[in-house]
Copies of this chain bind each other. A is one copy, B any other.
Amino acid sequence: MVDILHRVGVVSSPDDVYAALTTIDGLAGWWTEDTDGDSDVGGVIRFRFEPGGFDMKVMEAEPSGRVLWEVVDGPEEWIGTRIRFELKREDNFTIILFRHEGWQEPVEFMYHCSTKWATFLMSLKRLVETGTGEPAPRDVKISNWH
């Protein structure tokens, strides 16, 4: 099992970062505009992109502490993997430790998703710091796989 790891710091409070991870409006502001569903614990959030999308079950949501999703529908390689955001305060930053864990194999799609997650976490940082993120379909394009 292999994981994707990232660390980003947002000049903002943990509350604001937590809101961007746990509300439909927040998520639509940095990952994909086409987001809906139920973002409470036990709910399923539906994220859609031009080529497809992901359904995430919210497993944990601890205010300003951590958020954990499990992928319940989407590309085969993603199903059953988990996405974890841990928040902590350091200097005047809210640090996000991100982990997309439980990939069966380091397939080429995992290389792609690792870079895409980095650009989306930078979009989350920008959203919380400036009010404007870069969610799909206005996301940063990194290759022929978008």
B3 engages A112 (CB within 8 Å) = no
Bits for A111-132, please: 1 = Cβ < 8 Å to B, else 0: 1101100110110010000000
Number of copies: 2
B2 engages A3 (CB within 8 Å) = yes
From B93, B122, B144, contact of A91 by CB (8 A): B144
B108 engages A144 (CB within 8 Å) = no
- Interface residue tally for chain A (C-beta within 8 Å): 33
Distance in Å: Cβ of A97 to nearest Cβ of chain B = 6
A144 engages B9 (CB within 8 Å) = yes
B114 engages A9 (CB within 8 Å) = no
From B5, B90, B145, contact of A114 by CB (8 A): B5
Contacts known (A8-B142, A144-B90, A145-B7); A111 close to B97, Cβ less than 8 A = yes
From B6, B91, B97, B111, contact of A7 by CB (8 A): B111
| A71-90 contacts to B (CB < 8 Å) | 90
A31 CB–B CB distance under 8 Å: no
How many angstroms from the CA of A111 to the CA of B3 in the assembled complex?
A: 10
A5 engages B110 (CB within 8 Å) = yes
Bits for A29-55, please: 1 = Cβ < 8 Å to B, else 0: 000000000000000000000000000
